[in-house]
Structure 1
């Protein structure tokens, strides 16, 4: 028995070669932990800090696949709400999810699922397809985060974009490019290890 029933091979499946409920649970938990660690790599800005989370979200979704990747980010959000201090700046609790960054955290679940869905179709094995997928995965948290930010802080469109989008464009491009290089390299390394 496994968490995901798909037969698509993700990077985690390629490396582990066997699947079980125990291995899937371990991967989901490790994925959540990686995102929690990456959240602590931060440039403090208000109301939304720049963090390493997006890179971790892309890598976790791609490596684990759509279901396990989404579950890892759902676990990250739920455990953070329940008190694990692994949101940015070691924050936790409902106030974080209900605050200005909450929409981005919810968007991470969708971004991991999207990256995983494309990874299950082998889009993460070459740089150019990875770049397209990870660009969409980087943009998706903003789809959730910007309206949430505007609602929570009562911002107009210009204020929302200035606080919640513009400061993150350069970092987003860098994290997208990094993920688009790292996953194909990981696949090539896994392929060499199998020979």
Structure 2
């Protein structure tokens, strides 16, 4: 009886979007590289702000999507590849920058835990629900701030008020919109995947 209760209480392991694709030996490698490229390319969409060294970018949006699509393990590898490539000189970061000695590099580091959290949400099937995805995306974005804002404070010698004014507050609305977009897109992609699978099964 106790074994049945334990089994029932164990978290369900769900497939990610990448795992719904046909399996192959190179699938994981392709997914990791494609995820890193997606974050690098989408993150180039950036708007510099005159009052802060941290630009507005779509990087967080890409990280949320890559994390959910790949799952925690592959997402961690993908974001690590993206970060290492940028540190070693590839123009992977916003505005084609590279290296690590700049004010917003902490947000790049924050991408890693954010992507892993989104991957965990996908692994537990929470990316099928709009509201669960939205709340998860907000929490993942908070992890980006949790790493990025302290880095900004130390790098630019800022106090708490200036750190929030330059590294958090200007981006809250935009990141909430990104979370909403992801929350609508992921369940929609799963619905499309189920539709295609059902059509193939009926053919």
- TM-score for the superposition, normalised by structure 2: 0.88
For residue 22 of structure 2, what is the aligned residue in structure 1?
17
* Matched ranges for 1:24-173 at <5 A: 24-45=28-49, 46-93=52-99, 97-173=100-176
| Structure whose alpha-carbon radius of gyration is higher | 2
SS state of the match for residue 85, structure 1?
Answer: coil
CA distance in 2, matches of 1:193, 1:110: 32
Check if 1:179 corresponds to 2:185.
no
SS state of the match for residue 113, structure 1?
Answer: helix
CA distance in 2, matches of 1:120, 1:172: 23
Kindly provide the CA deviation profile for residues 37-67 of structure 1, in whole angstroms up to 9, marking residues without a partner as x.
Answer: 1111111123100100001000000000001
Q: What are structure 1's unaligned runs of at least 5 residues?
A: 1-6
For residue 4 of structure 1, what is the aligned residue in structure 2?
none
- State the Cα distance separating 1:17 from its structure 2 match: 3.2
Deviation >4 Å, runs of 4+: none
SS state of the match for residue 53, structure 2?
Answer: coil
For residue 3 of structure 1, what is the aligned residue in structure 2?
none
CA distance in 1, matches of 2:160, 2:70: 35
CA distance in 1, matches of 2:98, 2:103: 13
CA distance in 2, matches of 1:133, 1:19: 30
CA distance in 2, matches of 1:111, 1:138: 6
Kindly provide the CA deviation profile for residues 56-95 of structure 1, in whole angstroms up to 9, marking residues without a partner as x.
Answer: 00000000000101111111100011111120001112xx
CA distance in 2, matches of 1:19, 1:126: 28
- TM-score for the superposition, normalised by structure 1: 0.92
Aligned residues: 184
CA distance in 1, matches of 2:189, 2:89: 33
CA distance in 2, matches of 1:153, 1:108: 20
